[in-house]
Structure 1
Amino acid sequence: MTDNLMTALGLDRPESGDDTVVPFSLDKLNTRGRSVRLGEALDAILTRHAYPAPVARLLGEAVVLAALIGSSLKFSGKFIMQTQTDGPVNLIVVDFDAPDGLRGYARFDQELLLKAAEEGRTRPADLLGNGHLAMTIDQGEHMERYQGIVALEGNSLEEVAHTYFMQSEQIPTQVRLAVAEFTRKGDHRPHWRAGGVLIQHLPEHGMSRVADLPGDGDFSNMQPADPDDGWTEAKALMATLDDLELADPELSSERLMFRLYHETGVRVFTPMPLVERCSCSADRIEDMLATSFTAEDREEMAVNGEIEVVCEFCSTAYHFNPHQFAVKH
């Protein structure tokens, strides 16, 4: 970052890089939001299963959306986003394990996917089809779960997110998501990366100043904004974003926010890291096998004297002796 740009951004720290979420506030527009950039974390999730490119892009969008929403949690817990549909990609599950863990998985019908490709229907909305999207907040074993469900009727994840927030939170929300492949110099394998921005409109007098987040930069001039038109302006400016900007490896969240909102003013806050991390473990799977299945069930699961369980998210294989559970009963 050049000295001139650091001065313009009002930052006393380096720009954030990949695998981060940067909260921001557009105080004059009565709007706040978050910007996500994903690199290595997303690439690990998408390449582990060698998904066809259209499936990888759709799952990538879901991972970005889960990061944008889940990163707002102010407690230890999990945000779970799941789609179940009749489309070629009939199941997507993404977990955000607060404060920073991400994992994701997609299941698809190869025959339906090939048919959709032949017909030129490979947009994310085409692959989702009809069904529903559930967003669940799990605060832990002794806390009540919260779940919101939105119908999927041939619309995109961006559109579904807008509907979800209006129905469940009654907060006007705008979301932009983009996923792309980039080839690094000297590396012949393309790498997946993605970006996303979420903005939300808050009442002028009820708007939080995001005081619980330490402020880093104030990219503002003194041009006032009409509060009645603030949300319209915030949306209009975000609509100028293209996919390349969102996924550009050279464009940090801070630069992106400055590019979009420097004329009306934007404050950015400390970046929060994101990591690809699976929550599976041998102990959890052993407990599941012991409590959810009978001894006869476990005997039937065994192949060559052992039970193998492979995590759908991270592909880790766990092996158990079907007789090791006798002591638990």
Structure 2
Amino acid sequence: MTDDLMSALGLDRPETGDDAVLPFTLDKLDTRGRAVRLGDALDTILNRHNYPAPVARLLGEAVVLAALIGSSLKFEGRFIMQTQTDGPVKLIVVDFDAPDGLRGYARFDHDALLKFAEEGKTRPADLLGKGHLAMTIDQGPNTERYQGIVALEGASLEEVAHTYFMQSEQIPTMVRLAVAEFQQKGDHRPHWRAGGVLIQHLPEHGMSHVADLPGDGNFENTDEADGWSEAKALLTTLEDVELADPDLSPERLLFRLYHETGVRVFSPMPMVERCTCSADRIEDMLSTSFTAEDREEMAVDGEIEVVCEFCSTAYHFNPHQFEAKH
């Protein structure tokens, strides 16, 4: 990073690398936001199940969106994003375990996916189809879960995110997501990478009336309207390749977008691929949620096998080991 760029951003640290969320503000535009760049963490999640490329891209977008939203949590807890649809990708689940853990998986119909591919329908919006997306915030034991649900009507995850924020948060919001494969010199295979930017209009004196259109707002103050319009317009110039480019740091990306209006960045928040499954948790689930008869029926050759859908770790139990606990 050049001295001029460091000075413009007020930085006294190296540029942010992969697997991190970078908070920022556009003070002159009454806008705040977060930029995320995922490398090895996302590549691990997507390659663990060897998803077909269209499914991997869709799940990758969901992981990026979950990182952008979940990283705003100010407490230790979980942000869970889940889609259930009639499209070829039937189910997506992404867990953000605050402050930094990501995991995710997808279920899909092989035959339907093949048919859609033959018809050229491989966009994320095509694969989602119709259904719903649920976003859940779980603050832990002895607290109530908060859940927002948005209909999926053949829209992209970017469009669904805009609708979610307007319906549930009433905050004008714009999101950009991109997932791509990159193969650099020396790599034995392409690696999945992704990036995303989320901006929200938050004027200092409070929210103005919010319009019905996703991502827009009606503002009593013309300067506020102009500022938010400019922030959005500049974000629309961002290309997918820039979001996932391994040679373009989030700081450089934001400076490229907003250097004329000014952008202020804060300390990056690291992201890691981490599954929260454990033998103790699964043993407790088998003990409390199933009867002895249920466990006997689950057993194959005298053993119960439970495979984590997120990380594919297999756990094995003797169906009789639970008897001493009851």
Q: Same fold (TM over 0.5)?
A: yes
Give the structure 1 partner of residue 183 of structure 2.
183
Give the structure 1 partner of residue 136 of structure 2.
136
Give the structure 1 partner of residue 265 of structure 2.
268
Give the structure 2 partner of residue 194 of structure 1.
194
Is residue 318 of structure 1 aligned with residue 315 of structure 2?
A: yes
Instruction: State the secondary structure of the residue aligned to 1:32.
Output: strand
Seen in structure 2, the aligned counterparts of structure 1 residues 300 and 138 have a Cα distance that, compared at 3 Å, is same
Residues 212-271 of structure 1 show CA distances to partners (whole Å, capped at 9, x for unaligned) of: xxxxxxxxxxxxx93330000000000000000000001111111111111111110000
Instruction: State the secondary structure of the residue aligned to 1:226.
Output: helix
Instruction: State the secondary structure of the residue aligned to 2:175.
Output: strand
Q: Is the 8 Å Cα contact of residues 30 and 204 (structure 1) preserved in structure 2?
A: yes
Matches within 5 A, 1:160-239: 160-206=160-206, 226-239=223-236
Give the structure 2 partner of residue 212 of structure 1.
none
Q: Could you state the TM-score of these two structures normalised by the residue count of structure 2? A: 0.94
Give the structure 1 partner of residue 84 of structure 2.
84
1:305 to 296, 302, 305: 302
Q: Which runs of 5+ in 1 are unaligned?
A: 208-224
Matching residue's letter, 1:20: A
2:149 & 2:5 partners in 1: Cα distance? 43
1:205 & 1:323 partners in 2: Cα distance? 63
1:72 & 1:119 partners in 2: Cα distance? 39
Q: Is the 8 Å Cα contact of residues 9 and 263 (structure 2) preserved in structure 1?
A: no
291-300 vs 75-84, greater mean Cα deviation: 291-300
Residues 60-97 of structure 1 show CA distances to partners (whole Å, capped at 9, x for unaligned) of: 00000000000000001000000000000000000000
Residues 44-74 of structure 1 show CA distances to partners (whole Å, capped at 9, x for unaligned) of: 0000000000000000000000000000000
Is residue 280 of structure 1 aligned with residue 280 of structure 2?
A: no
Instruction: State the secondary structure of the residue aligned to 2:306.
Output: strand
Alpha-carbon shift at residue 205 of structure 1 (Å) = 1.6
Matches within 5 A, 1:33-182: 33-182=33-182
Residues 7-32 of structure 1 show CA distances to partners (whole Å, capped at 9, x for unaligned) of: 33321000000000000001110100
Alpha-carbon shift at residue 187 of structure 1 (Å) = 1.3
Matching residue's letter, 2:272: V
Residues 260-305 of structure 1 show CA distances to partners (whole Å, capped at 9, x for unaligned) of: 1111111100000000000000000000001111111111111111
2:295 & 2:153 partners in 1: Cα distance? 40
Q: Is the 8 Å Cα contact of residues 204 and 227 (structure 1) preserved in structure 2?
A: no
Alpha-carbon shift at residue 201 of structure 1 (Å) = 0.5
Instruction: State the secondary structure of the residue aligned to 1:96.
Output: strand
Q: Is the 8 Å Cα contact of residues 21 and 36 (structure 1) preserved in structure 2?
A: yes
Matches within 5 A, 1:249-268: 249-268=246-265
Residues 308-328 of structure 1 show CA distances to partners (whole Å, capped at 9, x for unaligned) of: 000000000000000000012
Q: Is the 8 Å Cα contact of residues 203 and 224 (structure 2) preserved in structure 1?
A: no
User: Could you tell me the percent identity over the aligned residues?
Assistant: 85
2:30 & 2:186 partners in 1: Cα distance? 45
Give the structure 2 partner of residue 211 of structure 1.
none
Q: Could you state the TM-score of these two structures normalised by the residue count of structure 1? A: 0.93
Instruction: State the secondary structure of the residue aligned to 2:148.
Output: strand
Matching residue's letter, 2:48: R
Alpha-carbon shift at residue 6 of structure 1 (Å) = 2.2
Give the structure 1 partner of residue 213 of structure 2.
none
Give the structure 1 partner of residue 243 of structure 2.
246
